[in-house]
Amino acid sequence: MPSLKDLRNRITSVKSTQKITKAMQMVAAAKLRRAQNAAESGRPYAEKMSATLGNLAANLVGGVGAPKLLSGTGEDKTHLLVVCTADRGLCGAFNSSIARLAARHARKLQGEGKTVKIFTVGKKGYDMLRRQFRSEIIENIDIRGTKPVDYAFASEIADKILGRFDAGEFDVATLFYSQFKSVISQVPTAQKLIPAELPSTDGKTSTGASADAAMEFEPSEEAILTTLLPKNLTVQVYKALLENAASEQGSRMSAMDSATRNAGEMIKKQTQIYNRTRQAMITKELIEIISGAEAL
Amino acid sequence: MATFHFDFVGPERTLYSGEVEAVQIPGTEGEMTVLPGHAPVLTTLKVGVITVTEKAGSGKRIYVQGGFADIGPNAVTVLAERAAPIEEVNPAMIDKEIEAAELARDATEDLEKREQLNGQIVQLREAKHVLGAN
């Protein structure tokens, strides 16, 4: 039977934990709003970019001389997994679900006799995958602190991926991140980066010209495609980082919400035990006094 | 005068969107002015200044550093990675860019890369000249 003092201490400690989780929930809610705004305002660029690329590629697919970023190296031996997670924990299953998806993917590829290389973005994913894939991880970048992700950071990552691709270190690149569906639902997703997956066009360009109409290209079609594809890679990485940022905050928000609720329940239960013990002690003392008086 | 829709989109946000009469674009193959009903062209951009004419006598100038333009008969979209309204750019900033590019050029052994950076430096010099003339 714990003493009253022990119980009191326990209740105070749960209360202060609840205060922390409550504060974290509110901070996550504010950050989520900001992350969602950033994702929103980044969308037009990504959409226009993939629409334009889709148009360009539609004219070129199957044609010889398509850049390697689009058509692949023609081999399927070495896979690069780019795993984007957060730098911080305490956000529910966010980090582990991305890491688990990537790990499963890696195991499957290894089972098929392919070489797997892993490039982690964010500290948590690195920590989780390090145990299983020590020798496969070739690089790790931490997301810098609490600063919101920007385009420059995405292009830094994309440049590293491109550098390795140009050096012939891998054939296929897949990006792992968490897609933001809603505050309570984030879906870990795998997306092919190289060879680029492009949306099929519906035969209309964004500017109102039909795709099969003679379009002029300055300089040449191939030249544009070669400059555009690396940019598209950056955009895809940037999009993934934004989705991830929103997912992380959403996940943290709901995790902290349930933590706060659990703490509330615990406080209620503990307070009940505390009150009951207190009452029992008073009753006991009273009985002692009364029986003492009666004995006289 | 007839107008068409002009979108200027950066990766982090949309920088300009509206009906305009004409847009002057610094294409890699040369400057061009786009009026309504232009033939569809897709062109890459060099470092330079985009001049947007909303209506006679009023408009805007935006400094861009690379990107591309998707031109159609009733809409033009410019996607630029780095851009700023002209008031926010000064020659000193471009000087810094030139210096960075020169350092990168001298550091690399790769001839192709050197060539590419050289091109960039020339473009930056031109842009600085345009800005300086204001």
How does pLDDT run across A270-284, given as a tens digit for each residue? 999 999 999 999 999
**Is the domain of B41 the same as that of B101?**
no
Q: State whether B81 and B16 are in the same domain.
A: yes
- Rounded Cα–Cα distance for residues B124 and A276 (Å): 79
Q: How many folded domains does chain B comprise?
A: 2
Q: Which ipTM did the prediction report?
A: 0.74
| pLDDT of residue A250 exceeding 50 | yes
Cβ atoms of B116 and B132 closer than 8 Å: no
Q: DSSP readout, A226-246?
A: HHHHHHHHHHHHHHHHHHHHH
Q: Do B73 and A207 touch (CB under 8 A)?
A: yes
Q: Which domain holds residue B34?
A: 4-87
The answer on B75 and B22 residing in a single domain is yes
Q: In this complex, do A238 and B76 lie within 8 Å of one another by their Cβ atoms?
A: no
Crossing angle for the helix pair B91-107 and B111-132, to the nearest 10 degrees? 170
Do B81 and B95 share a domain, yes or no? no
Q: Of the residues A32, A69, A86, A91, which is catalytic?
A: A91
SS3 A183: coil
Q: Can you give the pLDDT at residue B42? A: 87
Q: Do B51 and B103 share a domain, yes or no?
A: no
Kindly state whether B103 is in contact with chain A, defined as any CB-CB distance less than 8 angstroms.
Answer: no
Regarding whether B94 and B37 lie in a shared domain, the answer is: no
Contact A42 B29 (CB under 8 A): no
Instruction: Categorize the per-residue pLDDT at A89 as very low, low, confident or very high, splitting at 50, 70 and 90.
Output: confident
pLDDT at A209: 47
A283: how many CB neighbours lie within 10 A of its CB?
Answer: 10
Residue length of chain A: 296
Of residues B14, B29, B74, nearest to A219 (C-beta): B29
Q: How confident is the model at residue B134 (pLDDT cuts 50, 70, 90)?
A: low
Could you tell me if B57 and B80 lie in one domain?
Answer: yes
Q: Which residues of chain B neighbour A209 with C-beta distances below 8 Å?
A: 40, 72-73
What is the identity of the amino acid at A29?
A
Instruction: For B23, list phi and psi in degrees, rounded to 5.
Output: -135, 130
B110 and B83 in a single domain? The answer is no
pTM, entire model:
0.83
Residues B80 and B31 in one domain: yes
- Do B39 and B53 contact (CB within 8 A), yes or no? no
What pairs with residue A201 in β-bridges?
none
Active site residue A91: yes
| CATH number of the domain within which B11 lies | 2.60.15.10
Chain B CB contacts of A151 under 8 Å are: 11-12, 81
Give residue-wise pLDDT tens across range B38-92: 888 888 888 888 889 888 788 888 888 888 888 888 889 899 888 877 777 777 7
Say whether both B116 and B77 belong to one domain: no
Q: Are B72 and B109 in a shared domain?
A: no
What mean pLDDT do residues A53-75 have? 70
- Do residue A48 and residue B9 have CB atoms under 8 angstroms apart? yes
A205 part of contact set with chain B, CB < 8 Å? yes
Domain identity same for B74 and B18: yes
Q: What are the backbone angles phi and psi of residue A281, rounded to the nearest 5°?
A: -65, -40
Q: Which of B10, B11, B72 sits opposite A207 (nearest CB)?
A: B72
pLDDT score of A204: 45
Q: Which residue of A has its CA nearest to B71?
A: A207
